[in-house]
Structure 1
Amino acid sequence: MRPDVRPGGTLLRDTAFLRLWIGATASGLATWALPFVLGFAVLERSMTAVELGVVLAARTVGFLVAVPVAGVLADRHSRRRVVFWAGSVAGLTSPLIAVGLGRSVVVMAVAAAAVGAGQGACRPAFQALTAEVVAEEQRRRANAAMTLAVRVTTLVAPGLTALLALVVDTPALIVATAVLWLAAASIPPPGTAVVPAARRRFAAEFVDGVREARRHPWFVAGLGALTAVIATGYSATGVVLPLVSRDRYGTGAVLAAAMTAYTVGALGGAIIAGRRGSRAQGWTALAGLACYGFVPLTLLLPVHAVFVIGAYVAAGVGIELFNVPWFTATQREVEPSMLARVSSLDFLLSYGLAPVGLALIAPAIDGFGADVVLAVCAVVCFAAPAAAALVPSARDFR
């Protein structure tokens, strides 16, 4: 049965949502922590930078393979059950990375692929489970609370992890991520039972999800804009920002300040998006997404470092002004029995393909120069959301 959700109540007093929030936060923390912890292993010379790249690439492959599969499974079966098995797989295989550390990169890579699969399977299932656990009028605040937890983790966790590294070794920290995954598997509440259509072949059911996504022009346009911004602006700045910080400003402080500013901006954006809606919520969301264009623009122009940091604050605010209404609209507009499949398309194309953008940006910079690449990225970041806003249903994401 559906947990009791009081439409006018406070989310933090809702036990079902609190369990969902804790589980999603645990999975997000475990996802973020692994690359950071393995970075300590490189510093300790327990593994090489090349081995780190192989392990993280294997995790990305596992993620990309699992996301569409999980989308279908989470629409066939209980979303809570998919979260349980996905978190359990990630939790039980994470310690194998510690076992292979300094011994076998193959063992680490295989284990990382399984962890990535668990991570990828959780994403669409959590998205669909939110729609089951939280009443519609509370979902905007619920999605803001979800993303707020991620941002707080990103801001606070590096320092905490560094302090823990002084007390315990890297294998123990890896095992700690396994504990987080097991918490993510066991804590979330059950949702309502969505009765799926007659079961068909896997590929046919996935195609049904694609058709459902295409039935919403605002979703197709918004996803195209989000994918373009992440693949260009996000990827380019990830590569160029360290170089600009070093060569233009002569210090790594600009790099650290800019990344912190992005997270702080995202915290503010999540709070604003959770408390305030707008009549033209789709246009507001796309305008927020376009704010990322200021980042490559300030990296391109010879401006004071304060403008670069300010651009990252604006980008952080903007991405959450997009994310919160985007997730909320998807949960509201998409056919409930296909929500996980549509959400899997979202994660697959936007965040799943981000490593492809990172892989292509460096050769593009070598071939055309950083200035040309940054200029193109800035144009894409401004133009893609503007083009998406021209779709009639994009005004309100309806």
Structure 2
Amino acid sequence: MTTTPQPATPLRHHPGFLRVWGSQSAGAVADQILPVALSLYAVSQGGGAGTVAAILAGRAVALVVCLLAGGILADRVSRPRILLTADILRAAVVATALLTLDRLPLTALAVVTGLCGAAEALSRPAMRSLVPTLLPSNLLERGNALVSAVHRSATLIGALTGAALIATIGIHAALGLAAVMFTAGAVAVLGVRDNPDRKPSTGVLADAVAGVNAVRQRPWVIAVMTAVAIQIFAGTAPTLALLPLIAHQHLGGDLAYGAIVAALAAGALPAIALASRWRPQQPGTISMLALTAYAALPASLAIPLPLPATAALFALGGFTVELYFIYWLTALQRAIPTTVLGKVLALDQLSAFALLPIGYALVGPLVTTLGTRPTLLTAAAVVAAASAVTLLVPGVATFTDPPATPADCALRTDDSKVARS
């Protein structure tokens, strides 16, 4: 007996999803204003690569520490309530920083990004695991693409706005706008309802173990998580830490920095349009090969190239990352049971950011020892190699579980017995 696939309804017929989408739009603008504004403010006050890296590392450390807790919460309590609480917390932190900024040392700015990062860590798994409960399966690619589109558009707007405010008005205006946008995000999510029947049936430790087991049973998930962690450690950390300094010294100043970050976001927009419509038979092959082009980001800063060329290569990096991300997120939403989806999405983010604080911590010593150009060229080489090797792992090419072997069935049976006990 077969069923006829139902035609996809327009996204506008799903108001709960649209409200969450609006909430995330406002928060994404603020999320981008904050690091741009604080990084440029630190540079203007005499901070170097170590200071900028510490400010950016504050968020990364918080994500590593808090993401798994966010995933466990997302599978146990109301996800819209988590989103509301996270936005309120970030608004309060930024408002406090605004009122006390003149008395804060530059090193304290890492605490600001850390607290905001902790709230973000709580909201990320909740938001991404909420989407499949608000949309039917045949709209997941389109819904994820729309979320990514607004995130990238907001990133572009936030980067340019943050840089422009720092260059023309000052840090206080930038922080004030970020606080307002976080507040708007909290208001937008009011009234959204989650699945009321979802209740925790196990302890917190058992929840965490269930999430780990869901990943462990899928080697293709482990392989991709590992590759992305290496790319972020080796590529993202030195690129983002050195970009404000290189922009300030060689590319034209604060507005150039904002333009490059905005180009990274703008490059994602055509990838979003492509991924929302194109269903390749091997999305994993497309995604992992595309990710090798992310090496263009550190490589473009190693020379450095003129501003238009640098912006174009950052746009290429944004395109490849977004193409991968939409296919990857949709694959996890389909492959992972809803009962553990929040935890798996948290582990995905946790693995991605686990090495990032170490990467930021190494930027200063590496630049001192090797120099800026060798550090960036080494980063580019590692990034280019990291994703291609994952295609050797079964399941990566399609982002799906390969046909089960008898050993796999035995392993899953054992895991089920452990979970029941």
Q: The TM-score by the shorter chain falls in which range? A: 0.7 to 0.9
**1:244-303: per-residue Cα shift (whole Å, max 9, x none)?**
7788xx643886765444333222212211221211011111112111123445556798
Q: Is the 8 A contact 1:94 1:112 kept in 2?
A: no
> Contact (CA 8 Å) 1:76, 1:199: kept in 2 or not?
no
Q: Give the one of 356, 365, 376 matched to 1:363.
A: 365
Residues 256 and 195 from structure 1, CA distance in 2 versus in 1: closer, same or farther, beyond 3 angstroms?
A: closer
The answer to whether the Cα contact below 8 Å between 2:228 and 2:352 also exists between their aligned partners in 1 is: yes
Q: Secondary structure at the match of 2:284?
A: helix
Instruction: Give the structure 2 partner of residue 144 of structure 1.
Output: 145
Q: How many residues align?
A: 389
State the match for 1:326 in structure 2: 328
Contact 1:97 1:107 in 2 (8 A): no
Q: Are residues 348 and 7 of structure 1, via their aligned partners in 2, closer, same or farther at CA, if it must alter by over 3 Å?
A: farther
5+ long unaligned stretches in structure 2: 1-5, 401-421
The match for 2:8 is 8
Quote the offset at 1:63 in angstroms: 3.4
Distance (whole Å) between structure 1 residues aligned to residue 212 and residue 183 of structure 2: 31
Report if the CA contact (8 A) 1:283-1:396 is conserved. Answer: yes
Mean Cα deviation higher: 372-381 or 36-45:
36-45
One-letter identity of the residue aligned with 1:81:
R
Query: 2:270 — aligned with what?
Result: 268
- Rounded to whole Å, the distance in 2 between the matches of 1:39 and 1:52 is 6
Question: Would the aligned equivalents of 1:194 and 1:337 in 2 still touch at CA under 8 Å?
Answer: no
CA distance in 2, matches of 1:37, 1:243: 14
1:313 is displaced (CA, Å) by 3.1
Cα distance between partner residues in 2 of 1:274 and 1:261: 21
Deviations 1:343-387 (A, max 9, x none): 111222214643431321332243344554444333322322111
- Corresponding residue of 2:65: 65
Contact 2:283 2:397 in 1 (8 A): yes
> Within 2, Cα distance between the matches of 1:290 and 1:275?
23
Q: 1:338 aligns with which of 337, 340, 344?
A: 340
Q: C-alpha root-mean-square deviation of aligned residues, in Å?
A: 3.5
What are structure 1's unaligned runs of at least 5 residues?
1-5
**Correspondence for 1:81:** 81
User: Is the CA contact (8 Å cut-off) linking 2:237 and 2:360 kept in structure 1?
Assistant: yes
Q: Which amino acid aligns with 1:10?
A: P
Select 1:218's aligned residue among 193, 214, 220: 220
Deviates more, 1:114-123 or 1:250-259: 250-259
* Counterpart Cα distance in 2 of 1:256 and 1:39: 11
Q: 1:394 to 1:59 in 2, by over 3 A?
A: closer
Residue 14 of structure 1 and its aligned partner are, at CA, apart by 3.0
Are residues 326 and 311 of structure 1, via their aligned partners in 2, closer, same or farther at CA, if it must alter by over 3 Å?
A: same
Contact 2:215–2:344 (CA under 8 A) maintained in structure 1: yes
CA distance in 2, matches of 1:224, 1:181: 32
- Say which is worse superposed, 16-25 or 183-192, in terms of deviation: 183-192
Percent of aligned pairs with the same residue? 28
Aligned to 2:93: 93
C-alpha contact 1:97 1:112 (8 A) present in aligned 2? no
The 1:274/1:174 distance shift into structure 2, 3 A limit, reads same
Which residue pairs with 1:349 in the alignment?
351
Cross-structure match for 1:178 = 179
Q: Say if 2:41 and 2:166, in contact at 8 Å, map to a contact too.
A: no
Query: 2:384 is matched by which residue type in structure 1?
Result: F
Alignment-derived partner of residue 198 in structure 1: 201
Does residue 382 (structure 1) correspond to residue 384 (structure 2)? The answer is: yes
**Amino acid aligned to 1:190:** R
In structure 2, relative to structure 1, the CA distance for the partners of 1:276 and 1:183 (3 Å cut) is: same
**For residues 52-108 of structure 1, what are the alpha-carbon distances to aligned partners after superposition, in whole Å with 9 as ceiling and x for unaligned?**
876665444443332221111111112122222222222333322123222355987
Match runs of 1:250-289 below 5 Å: 251-252=251-252, 258-289=260-291
Q: 1:191-212, CA deviations, whole angstroms, 9 ceiling, x for partnerless residues?
A: 3246355221x33422321111
Secondary structure in 1 matching 2:195? coil
Q: 1:37 to 1:83 in 2, by over 3 A?
A: same
Secondary structure in 1 matching 2:280: coil
Determine the C-alpha separation between the residues in 1 that align with 2:28 and 2:305. Answer: 35
